[in-house]
């Protein structure tokens, strides 16, 4: 079962969205230089659909997107939670930040609006680096459209 440690409303994780970012623990990726190594352990509370509904309700409708940050230990559970969002919070877009290089076959693209793929590699930098290996996709008609350049600052 997925667990979450905390959440916050964020403005830079998903372009043009006000996202509720939910930090999932138990990350198996353990990227060297990770900005959140405290999420490697099995810590936090179970992320059930009820807990997710409560987190969303606590935002008082100020969000446009739900972003699950992590969850690579159980992609099927991520998919199931996003399916719940699709069916019960239709106004919200959905985003998943995965540290894997390839999308899990357990992820049904119909449940996602955005997906970030790729481990953090310090020498290539994060999403806002033009040299990053990480990719940020918008899901458009069942295909992944790379929009990573939206994170790059213009001079």
Domain definitions of the chain by residue range: 3-151
Q: What mean pLDDT is predicted for residues 125-131?
A: 94
CB of 52 within 8 A of CB of 22?
yes
Q: For residue 34, what pLDDT is reported? A: 83
Please write the tens of the pLDDT for every residue from 52-95.
999 999 987 789 999 999 999 999 999 999 999 999 999 999 99
SS3 144: strand
Do strands 65-69 and 93-97 pair parallel, antiparallel, or not at all (unpaired)? parallel
Q: For residue 37, what pLDDT is reported? A: 83
The CATH code of the domain at 3-151 is 3.20.20.70
Helix segments in the chain, DSSP class H: 49-58, 75-88
CB of 39 within 8 A of CB of 68?
no
Q: For residue 31, what pLDDT is reported? A: 83
Q: What mean pLDDT is predicted for residues 146-155?
A: 88
The share of the chain scoring above pLDDT 90, in percent, equals 85
């Amino acid at each position: 079962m997925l667990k979450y440690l905390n959440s916050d409303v964020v403005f830079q994780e998903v372009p043009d969205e006000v996202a509720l970012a939910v930090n999932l623990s138990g990350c198996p990726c353990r990227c060297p230089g990770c900005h959140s190594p405290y999420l490697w352990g099995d810590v936090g509370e179970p992320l059930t659909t009820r807990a997710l509904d409560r987190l969303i309700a606590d935002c008082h409708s100020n969000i446009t997107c739900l972003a699950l940050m992590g969850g690579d230990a159980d992609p099927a559970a991520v998919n199931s939670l996003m399916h719940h969002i699709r069916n019960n919070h239709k106004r919200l877009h959905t985003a998943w930040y995965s540290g894997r290089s390839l999308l899990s076959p357990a992820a049904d693209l119909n449940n996602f609006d955005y997906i970030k793929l790729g481990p953090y590699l310090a020498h290539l930098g994060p999403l806002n680096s033009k040299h990053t290996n990480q990719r940020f996709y918008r899901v458009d008609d069942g295909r992944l459209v790379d929009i990573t350049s939206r994170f790059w600052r213009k001079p």
